[in-house]
Amino acid sequence: MLSQRLRNESFKDRIMSAEEAAMLIEDGMTLGFSGFTPAGDAKAVPVALVERVKKEGKPFKINLFTGASISSKVDSLLSDAGIVNMRLPYQSDKGMRKNLNAGKVHYMDQHLSHTAELLRSGALPPVDVAIIEAVAITEEGHLVLSTAVGNSPIFAQMAHTIIVELNLAQPLALEGIHDIYMPAPHGEREPIPLKHPGDRIGTTTLAVEPDKIKAIVVTNQPDVNAAMAPADEETATMASHLINFLRQEVEAGRLGPNLAPLQSGVGSVANAVFYGFLDTDFTDLEVYSEVLQDAVFELMDAGKIKVASGCSLTISPAKHDEVLENLEKYRDRLVLRPQELSNNPEIARRLGLIAINTAIEVDIYGNVNSTHIMGTQMMNGIGGSGDFARNARLTFFCTKSTAKDGKISSIVPMVSHCDHTEHDVDVIVTEQGLADLRGLSPRERALKIIENCAHPVYKPQLMAYYEEALQRGGHTPHVIEKALSWHAKFIKEGTMTA
């Protein structure tokens, strides 16, 4: 059994316990973990590391670099133990969030396609140890990755030590689904030869220098992905606005009958949009995204999606076994790539993606905050939204028009933090409606966003702000001393309502 997973006898003497492997990590090191939202994450060694540090009782800090979010258990464990100095490029964990917002962890919120480039250019500390989940190690000592590719290729390339978590709970049928391609250094770089979402341009295994593999830890734990909340009425309405808009774009001749390759962020809105396609006549859809969630597979089953490319398979517990035990069914329509490829601006622009992402708040001019609550508290991170939004052919941002039982308006005079500027945002979607901002100047955008997207409770307040701003004039009118007053009011009084 293990021989299928570890195909070179000579590697057997590197098998060790997670506790032993954790001893390879030294104070001050930079660690690169596999895992992307949070599929394919390192599961055993991080836990053993925390145990070890607690036992030793000595000061110990690491930098923690990942693909995107990893298991909440691991992010909380590590940050609560106080051993994380720098964390990047994304997280979505309550414990980590608390610690980084308290300034206890130096968090760098990055475009997910950028981390590999920043490492390559020396802008970040080099990765010392890569901890990578795999389903097999080949005869040559190369890795067959599991449910995510993420940043594992650059981590493995850069690290002097690779710890492999050989996870028997991940199906061997994943082999062949990955497509590992890495850009050459600057100055020697070729165009990325990918022209269609399903193109294979690299290798199915991650080639590593076999001598770097210092430890192989055998594990047997499935990914722990969050259950997918069923779409509530508002989410379903947003999905329906969006799909109707796509229909109109086809009618207007601006999109073909099979649309364009679809990208969608993580979460319930994106999932609802995808489920929404089940009830449409759209067929032969293509997906070029980062996380492939449940709906992608249902759409494949229904013959709606003909090919899907991502950098991780994040399947909810309810669908987990059905998808992972039937990978053969999807094999020829499924590709998993490094995140610098799945999120690459070169490819996003070449393919002309339709990008669907989620906002925390949007202002009346179309600027988007994806990350900070009330301008200061980090929620998760920008993730891939910037990689896609700027380069896509058509960029949607979705948000419910209010939050906190209506006490927060998601449409505000000015965003309290800006992640996506007006230049990069085409269409805003809320449950109230949709604002197509293409070809509009700021003053035109303001009227459309307020009219189509704001909640009725906040519309008069927004119009009052806008009209006062108009008296001041300017290309982008604002009453600067009141631009963030809604946020200040919420912080002070617990509501934005006037």
φ/ψ of residue 385, rounded to 5: -60, -40
Least CB distance to a copy of itself at residue 97 (A):
9
Which one, 224 or 379, has the nearer CB to a copy of itself? 379
For residue 167, what is the DSSP state?
A: E
386 is in an annotated binding site: no
Catalytic residue among 290, 298, 340, 361: 290
Report, in Å, the least distance between residue 226 CB and a copy of itself: 22
Within 167-293, residue ranges assigned H as helices are 233-251, 268-276
What minimum distance in Å lies between the beta carbon of 372 and a copy of itself? 6
Distance CA 200, CA 181 (A): 9
| Residue 32 annotated as lining a ligand binding site | no
Residue 85 Cβ vs a copy of itself, minimum distance, rounded to whole Å: 10
8 Å CB contact between 392 and 121 = no
Please state the φ and ψ torsions of residue 393, each to the nearest 5 degrees: -80, -30
Name the CA radius of gyration of the chain, rounded.
23
Q: Is 57 annotated as a binding residue?
A: no
Half-sphere exposure of 392 (CA within 13 A, CB side): 31
Going by C-beta distance under 8 Å and a sequence separation of 6 or more, which residues neighbour residue 6?
A: 12, 15, 136, 137, 166, 216
Judged by beta carbon, residue 227 or residue 252, the one nearer a copy of itself is 252
Choose between 50 and 394: whose C-beta lies nearer to a copy of itself: 394
* Residue nearer to a copy of itself on the CB measure, 58 or 186: 186
Distance CA 240, CA 243 (A): 5
Is residue 361 flagged as an active site residue? no
Helices (H), 93-232: 94-101, 115-120, 152-158
User: Least Å distance between CB 245 and a copy of itself?
Assistant: 13
Closest CA relative to residue 33, chosen from 69, 83, 72: 69
Question: Which helix (H) or strand (E) element contains residue 153?
Answer: helix 152-158
Q: Is 69 annotated as a binding residue?
A: no
How are beta strands 291-292 and 312-313 bridged, if at all? parallel
| Residue 427 labeled ligand binder | no
Check the annotation: does 266 bind a ligand: yes
Q: Which is nearer to a copy of itself, 55 or 189 (CB)?
A: 189
For residue 269, say whether it is annotated as part of any ligand binding site.
Answer: yes
Which residues participate in catalysis according to the annotation? 290
The annotated binding site for CoA is made up of 265-269, 360, 380, 384, 404
